[in-house]
Structure 1
Amino acid sequence: MKSHVSALMGGSPHEVAERYKVVSPIELLPIKIDHVLIHGVLDRHVPIELSKDYYFKAIEQGSNVRLIVLPDVEHFKIIDPTSTAWDSVIDTICASRPL
């Protein structure tokens, strides 16, 4: 069964590697805007190591980035306004906005 990502990309990373490289955020570093990564520890869809790897590489290259790790939160709870994680997401976004 094809994943949603491979359907969007027109193939798997092995089939269309260049497409994945072009849209990979870590390949676009350094990014010269402030940005925040919010990742749930229980995410089974996207391993937290991807966000950590991105964060450390971004810092190393001079990007202004923050990593917020939410314990006991899985992938879809971060975008669910009825979840207990939502307050953390909103607080993080609001704290990151310039006054």
Structure 2
Amino acid sequence: MTTHTPYGDDPSQYAELTLPDGAPRGVAVLVHGGFWKPEHDIEHAQPLVPSLVEAGWATWAIEYRRGTGAADTLADVRAAIAACPVEHPVRVAIGHSAGGHLAAWAATQQVGLTHVVSQAGVLDLRAAHDAGLGGGAVARFLGHPPGEADAGVDPIRQVPLAVPLWCVHGRADDVVPLAQSQAYVAAATAAGGAAELIEVAGDHFDVIDPASEAWARVLGLIEQLGRPAG
């Protein structure tokens, strides 16, 4: 059963909680992508819920304001994760594309995350802007081209994280290039962080296809973390 849970007054400020049978092995926070654009929403995360729940995870799929500026989006992601009603020592944020950016950023915000899985994440905002990813999505999100003042919202400039991060990225991704994850992991490990690149077959959307080998790899990664609370 899935419960719709508002965490604010805006129609986009809500999350969906789905619980497994019995005690959860952990909480999986799902953060959808879509280059922070209003036309892309939680529907991109929802297909991943059944397999996570079947594996024993409580899922907290979050929606957030998009297209109204970085401050709104970031405040919502922070508030949504903090509002998760399930208490558990293991909380894994799983974010796709721009959701990977938001998940990595959220790990710096003391909202109880213990691990991050970035699925084809936008983890270097300056490089993403220079490459024109999403048709200028980074500048639209920030309200300006990324610069020195944006270090606090750019994952590659926030390394090392205090929690482990896995970058799962398709070799054939032509939406967010593999170089984004390669550069992030190189920077994070050089700074002493716990980060690992996991290259998989497929493109940008195979990593969020619940029938794909890429998603099976994600389930395998987090399986080693989960344990019943108690």
Q: TM-score range by the shorter chain?
A: 0.7 to 0.9
SS in 2 for 1:78: helix
Does the C-alpha gap of structure 1 residues 81 and 4 become closer, same or farther in structure 2, counting only changes over 3 Å? farther
Deviation digits for residues 40-97 of structure 1 (CA, Å, limit 9, x no counterpart): 10111111111111111111110011111102x11111112133422122112223x2
Higher-helix-fraction structure: 1
Deviation per residue, 1:10-64 (Å, 9 max, x gap): 35x3xx5357543221011111111111111011111111111111111111001
Aligned equivalent of 1:36, options 166, 173, 178: 166
Unaligned runs of 5+ in 2: 1-133
Letter in 2 for 1:74: D
2:212 and 2:139 map into 1 onto residues whose CA distance is 28
SS at match of 1:38: strand
The residue aligned with 1:9 is 142
Provide the rounded CA distance (Å) in 2 between the counterparts of 1:42 and 1:2.
19
Mapped contact 1:41–1:70 kept (Cα < 8 A)? yes
Structure of greater Rg: 2
Cα distance in 2 for residues equivalent to 1:3 and 1:57: 24
Q: Residue 35 of structure 1 contacts residue 64 of structure 1 at CA under 8 Å; is this kept in 2?
A: yes
Q: Give the TM-score normalised by the residue count of structure 2.
A: 0.36
Aligned to 2:223: 94
Inter-CA distance 9–34: structure 2 relative to 1 (3 Å threshold): same
The root-mean-square deviation of aligned C-alpha atoms, in Å, is 2.4
* Structure with more of its chain in strand, by fraction: 2
Give the TM-score of the pair, scaled to structure 1.
Answer: 0.75
Tell me the residue number matched to 1:47.
Answer: 177
8 A contact 1:37–1:66 mirrored in 2: yes
Figure out how many residues of one structure are paired with residues of the other and give that number.
Answer: 94
Match of 1:76 among 192, 202, 205: 205
Q: Distance in 2 between matches of 1:90 and 1:60?
A: 27
Long gaps (5+) in structure 1: none
Contact 2:164 2:195 in 1 (8 A): yes
